[in-house]
Chains A and B, each alone.
Chain A
């Protein structure tokens, strides 16, 4: 099974080579073999006696991450959709994309996507699933931005990337929590430990995170905004990714984790509510669109909402209806996208306001569109599959059990009305889509091209899909016992009895009555469409999620720019203040919380002589003077006083080596200051506001206090024996010298000295380089 998943990826490596001959053979013809082969491979699994298949291939066994492919009914349905529609889309794209396009790019991305999508639906390991999940986001990003010279394409690609990756990352969080709780990375293993998960305190968080991933990917309200912008992709991509496969990945995810969450009431509330709101909002907004693909995008959003809502209901009948509708939606929506592509291709526009009266010119496309749109609308003809699944949907909405909880029970009552309301608009936009394009006055002078029927090769793919619509419409039970029942069983995690779909439910069936209401009101609303279309000025009106998104992106940009500009001013003074304040605050906090300050004791101090005090007073005066002196020569000398004071202190505290070194180093550094005297900046009285000088004073005093207190505290703490005793004892015995300092420097800790002289050497060479090798001309 791993070959089925990875072959598209491997073949993608060959595509650039094959596309070298694209002028003789369209690259798509080579690619066509791949999805076809995969489809044929998986078709063999269909059958009444299907049982799940599992294959495991090691990847990172030590982390429990392996290619663990599990083919159950649900996965089988999805892999058939992916490979089947993939084949048709590749075939369609052979006629849609001209050889002058960058075909190699297109097919590489498409194969990457196919591989990723197969991986998503077949993986049993959550982390492998996540990897493939992100690969679908990336390849979708590349496909949306295929015509990257267009600004709208880049915008759409970025938007879909940001939203789906946001969801993907939160899903990863949920998956990590799940695998931590259950101790396994296998979805099957998690389903076996449902009780453990259901009783966990983090359950709402896990549910929220995973649903966020599913909702963003499946364009659920309010994350649906990326899908209409993704319509900038080439039409085969829209037909494949944004109607049949990728947008159903979220559906798949919810279905896959349904056995875990179904017992949790909030699963029902969230998923049903979001689904039904998406259904209503998507169909409502679709009527307003003028772009053919825009209508289809919002239509997809609304149909996905419907499937999501059915999964949320969680009853066996509803889930069967969901599975049935996944299949049906893929057939009619895929074909409608292809027809929209044909219209675009043959007339040069997708704007429905410029189209009209095309039926006489494009009779085949028109006929196909009839079936597609009517099936989407759920018109009660026995040869349209959309009707059956919609009927099952209505039936499921009326059979929601009364939940005890207030919100849930309210939702159960409201859902049937909302479903009918949304379906009315579905009917309206479906009719608008067909009659607006194919009937009415001919407006050919508005078109860029002279319209004509599409080449036959382009019509084959939608024709096959429409045949699917009709066949499922005529024989609604054709795939039930061999495929759909297994898929439902896969979602419910329990085998399901064969299910029989009826066309005729009788007039007293409430679902049929709902359908009649939908059709009746739909016709009325469609005919009077122009009269009530002003309502869109009221309801979405100024309320637009796109604007919210744009504002948000803009705001994030602005705020981060402002924050960065606020502290990255380029002023070293400010950086210094920030560093010092951070040190002061952090260290004081730690000292106070750990009680470091309370241990300070002043016992065990040596006596202070008059000389000490005198030297220290001189040094303190000199140090204070440096703050107020404004003459640079004076400043150098005063600084020198402090340095020489230190060397006197070394003498007093009996460190002759240090005293000598300090004396010489101080002399040398003063000489250096004087050598660089001409280059030093002229000091002047600094004109500071009271505020900055106060801040600086506070920081300086705080730092001084900190160092003083640290010194006291360190002196008071006596936790370890001092190592100096060892040095005193062994300096002569082991090192052969009486000068302990020198023995430590060259023998005991010679390595430090080695690197210190290396530092000196580097400094000297750097100074030499700075002076001798500078660019004289640039000065």
Chain B
């Protein structure tokens, strides 16, 4: 894929991918109060990763992003599940959430919710799932054509 000169695409991607990633992080954190959340955030992150793959090719991206996306699925599910299990420690039903407001040096007063941890699990799973599916199908197609 990287044989032809994709200078424009690669340059644009270098910029856009980071904007996308930044946007996805925003979506993820904004989720609790504005449109967004783990699902969308995950999808947009995955879109950024896929864009990188398209522009730079599998081998190169595997080198700069040494992430096993299949393992990411398990990690995401585990985080979401453990968030639920965590509520047992406080003697409340499975997946009970709580939240609180904390004072931070730079951000000022920030709301932190355990629901955010759960959303993190969703986020990781979605990233893992989407990238796994697309990369595998894309690779397979390439192999056969």
Q: CB within 8 Å of B: which residues of A?
A: 656-657, 660-661, 664-665, 667-668, 671-672, 675-679, 735-739, 741-743, 745-747, 750-751, 753-754, 757-758, 760-761, 763-765, 767-768, 771-772
Contacts and interface: CB of A to CB of B under 8 A. Distances in A.
Given A746-B118, A764-B73, A764-B132, A757 B125 contact: yes
Contacts of B73: 760-761, 764-765
B115 A736 contact: yes
B84 interface: yes
Contacts of A750: 84, 95, 97, 115, 118
Contacts, number: 147
B34 interface: yes
B130 A668 contact: yes
B111 interface: yes
B115 A747 contact: yes
Contacts of B70: 764-765, 768
Contacts of B132: 764-765, 767-768
B31 interface: yes
- A-B residue pairs, 5 tightest by C-beta: A736-B99, A737-B32, A656-B35, A738-B33, A764-B129
Contacts of A746: 31, 37-38, 97, 115, 118-119, 122
Contact of A739 (B36, B99, B129, B144): B36
B136 A751 contact: no
A729 B70 CA distance: 39
Contacts of B97: 735, 746-747, 750
B71 to A, nearest CB: 11
B94 interface: yes
B81 A739 contact: no
Given A739-B33, A742-B32, A761-B125, A754 B134 contact: no
Interface string B11-51: 00000000000000001001111111111100110110010
B52 interface: no
B37 A672 contact: no
A736 B32 contact: yes
Given A664-B44, A768-B136, A737 B113 contact: yes
B133 A767 contact: yes
29 contacts: A664-B47, A668-B43, A668-B130, A671-B50, A675-B137, A676-B137, A679-B141, A736-B115, A737-B31, A737-B32, A737-B99, A739-B30, A739-B31, A739-B32, A742-B31, A742-B37, A746-B31, A746-B38, A750-B97, A750-B115, A753-B80, A757-B125, A757-B129, A758-B77, A761-B128, A764-B128, A764-B132, A771-B137, A771-B140
A764 B36 contact: no
Contacts of B27: 660
Given A742-B36, A746-B37, A757-B121, A668 B134 contact: yes
Contacts of A767: 132-133, 136-137
Interface in B77-133: 77, 80-81, 84, 94-95, 97, 99, 111, 113, 115, 118-119, 121-122, 125-126, 128-130, 132-133
Nearest to B125: A757
Output the residue of A664, A665, A763, A772 with the most chain B CB within 10 A. A664
A601 to B, nearest CB: 34
B65 interface: no
Contacts of B84: 750-751, 754
Contact of B40 (A657, A743, A758): A657
B34 A739 contact: yes
A747 B31 CA distance: 12
**B-side interface size class:** 35 or more
A364 B46 CA distance: 99
B64 interface: no
Given A677-B141, A757-B121, A760-B125, 14 more contacts: A660-B35, A661-B40, A661-B43, A671-B50, A675-B137, A735-B97, A739-B34, A746-B97, A754-B95, A760-B126, A764-B128, A767-B133, A768-B136, A772-B136
A656 B81 CA distance: 27
B138 interface: yes
A668 B128 CA distance: 14
Given A742-B37, A771-B137, A735 B99 contact: yes
A768 B129 CA distance: 10
Contacts of A765: 70, 73, 132
A665 B130 CA distance: 10
Contacts of B40: 657, 660-661, 664
Nearest to A656: B35
A757 B76 contact: yes
B111 A736 contact: yes
A737 B84 CA distance: 18
Contacts of A737: 31-33, 99, 113, 115
A757 B118 CA distance: 11
Contacts of A743: 32, 115
B81 A754 contact: yes
B73 to A, nearest CB: 4
A661 B126 CA distance: 12
Nearest to A749: B95
Nearest to A672: B137
B10 interface: no
In this complex, the member of B38, B39, B76, B81 whose beta carbon has the largest number of chain A beta carbons within 10 angstroms is B39
B133 A764 contact: yes
Contacts of A742: 31-32, 36-37, 119
A736 B113 contact: yes
B7 interface: no
Nearest to A758: B77
Contact of B136 (A738, A741, A771): A771
B46 to A, nearest CB: 8
A673 to B, nearest CB: 10
A741 B36 CA distance: 9
A760 B39 CA distance: 11
